Amino acid sequence: MIPVNEPSIGERELEYVTECLRTGWVSSAGHFLDEFENAWAGYCGMPYGVAVCNGTAALDVAVSCLAVQPGDEVIMPALTIISCALAVVRHGAIPVLVDCDPETWCMDVSAVKTRLTDRTRAIMAVHMYGHPVDMDPIVDMAREHGLAVIEDAAEAHGAEYKGRRCGGLGDVSVFSFYANKVITTGEGGMILMRDEAQAAHARAYRNLCFRPERRFYHTELGQNYRMTNVQAALGLAQLERIEELISRKRRTADIYTAGLAAIAGLQLPTEREWARSNYWMYAVVVDPTTELTGDTFSSALRTRGIDTRPFFLGMHEQPALQRLGLFSGERYPVSEVVSRQGVYLPSGTALTTSQAEEVCAAVREVLR
């Protein structure tokens, strides 16, 4: 079975992790943590980085850094992972949705203005599957209305918008370093920000808000969201190879595009002229006229030894959020279609050329 996403782990990763094990610095202190935070923030063009245990935690910390209050509204795409909405509702705020663009599958920027109210506090822009959101209109709108921009770059390591790296475009940005990301720490995440006070808040919040003068005395409530030195060691070694890893992703995308472009009824990912995608996942959408759904397409590929994953389900269709009284009667037609018809093909940094060609052959066989 060709896996959806197998990471590429090299000798430097083994060297750095082994150093942690040999020295005993395996928990939430050690030089790799500082080095990874500084190196990743610098790579993305942001002054401060705070590492945490995963990308979901990073979103929670980001919302906390912006002091989002109960009743505030945060505009976000309908098509995204539930972590985005979860971070907002945890703080008593309200996620407000917009549909996705039918070609990039990022949020429909033109719809954001229609969702602004006097309770809007922030706009959360999510770079989908490695392709950047059109950020300039988002930032301009935010500045005009006094809003913050949360940039969810969890899938966009090294992707670029008009020559600037994703993660350096908003007021705060978040990353995931889960095992399927371009750079992995196994589990892990990071928040990047421009404001020193927000960085200090994030460091306290991820560490139960211990006070330096009296450790077990708490004047604020935080979380245990710490990243370990072992994870940071792995991440730092991966960062040293990031251009190689992105090149592998883009090479795989080239193979898929060449092998699948002639197939009727299959929408391939696009790349806008102002964007450089990292092709985190090579995502395709099966036209409903083929009489296949994403699920049946995936099942047919699986019988041919190809593993896949579905697109995200729209936030307005999540039962757990509906039970909170959210999104009653709301419809987002583009998100609904692509969530049912979209599939990720194997896209890992360890994927070989022959494996990618085998995937193409299987897709052609299913859709012939």
Q: Using an 8 Å Cβ cutoff, are 363 and 301 in contact?
A: yes
Confidence of residue 215 (pLDDT cuts 50, 70, 90): confident
The whole-number pLDDT of residue 25 equals 94
Proportion of the chain above pLDDT 90, given as a percent: 98
Q: Domain residue spans in the chain? A: 11-239, 242-366
Distance CA 308, CA 302 (A): 8
Neighbours of 9 (CB within 10 A): 16
Confidence of residue 101 (pLDDT cuts 50, 70, 90): very high
Q: Using an 8 Å Cβ cutoff, are 335 and 79 in contact?
A: yes
- β-bridge pairing 309-310 and 342-345: antiparallel
Assigned architecture for domain 11-239: 3-Layer(aba) Sandwich (3.40)
The whole-number pLDDT of residue 37 equals 98
Query: Does residue 212 carry a pLDDT above 90?
Result: no
Q: How many helices (H) and strands (E) does the chain have?
A: 13, 14
Q: Using an 8 Å Cβ cutoff, are 65 and 267 in contact?
A: no
The whole-number pLDDT of residue 214 equals 87
Distance CA 21, CA 363 (A): 44
Distance CA 283, CA 277 (A): 12
What's the mean pLDDT in 60-76? 97
Q: b or e along 220-255 (b: 16 or more beta carbons within 10 Å of the residue's beta carbon)?
A: eebbebbbbbbbbbbbbbbbebbeebbebbbebbeb
Distance CA 262, CA 248 (A): 23
Confidence of residue 42 (pLDDT cuts 50, 70, 90): very high
The whole-number pLDDT of residue 163 equals 98
What's the mean pLDDT in 163-181? 98
Confidence of residue 246 (pLDDT cuts 50, 70, 90): very high
Query: Does residue 368 carry a pLDDT above 90?
Result: no
The whole-number pLDDT of residue 84 equals 98
The contacts found for 172-177 with CB under 8 angstroms, 24 or more apart, are: 172/62, 172/65, 172/66, 172/148, 172/198, 173/44, 173/46, 173/62, 174/55, 174/58, 174/59, 174/61, 174/62, 174/150, 175/40, 175/55, 175/58, 176/54, 176/55, 176/56, 176/58, 177/55, 177/231, 177/235
What's the mean pLDDT in 194-217? 94
Query: Does residue 65 carry a pLDDT above 90?
Result: yes
pLDDT in tens, 309-333: 999 999 999 999 999 999 999 999 9
Q: Which amino acid is at 114?
A: T
The whole-number pLDDT of residue 29 equals 94
Topology of the domain covering 242-366: Aspartate Aminotransferase, domain 1 (3.90.1150)
Distance CA 22, CA 28 (A): 16
The DSSP letter of residue 77 is: E
Q: Using an 8 Å Cβ cutoff, are 107 and 335 in contact?
A: no
Q: Mean of the per-residue pLDDT values for the chain?
A: 97
Can you spell out the DSSP letters for 296-319?
A: HHHHHHHTTTB--EEPPPPGGG-H
Proportion of the chain above pLDDT 70, given as a percent: 100
SS3 230: helix
- The alpha carbon of residue 280 and the mean position of all alpha carbons in its chain are separated, in whole angstroms, by 9
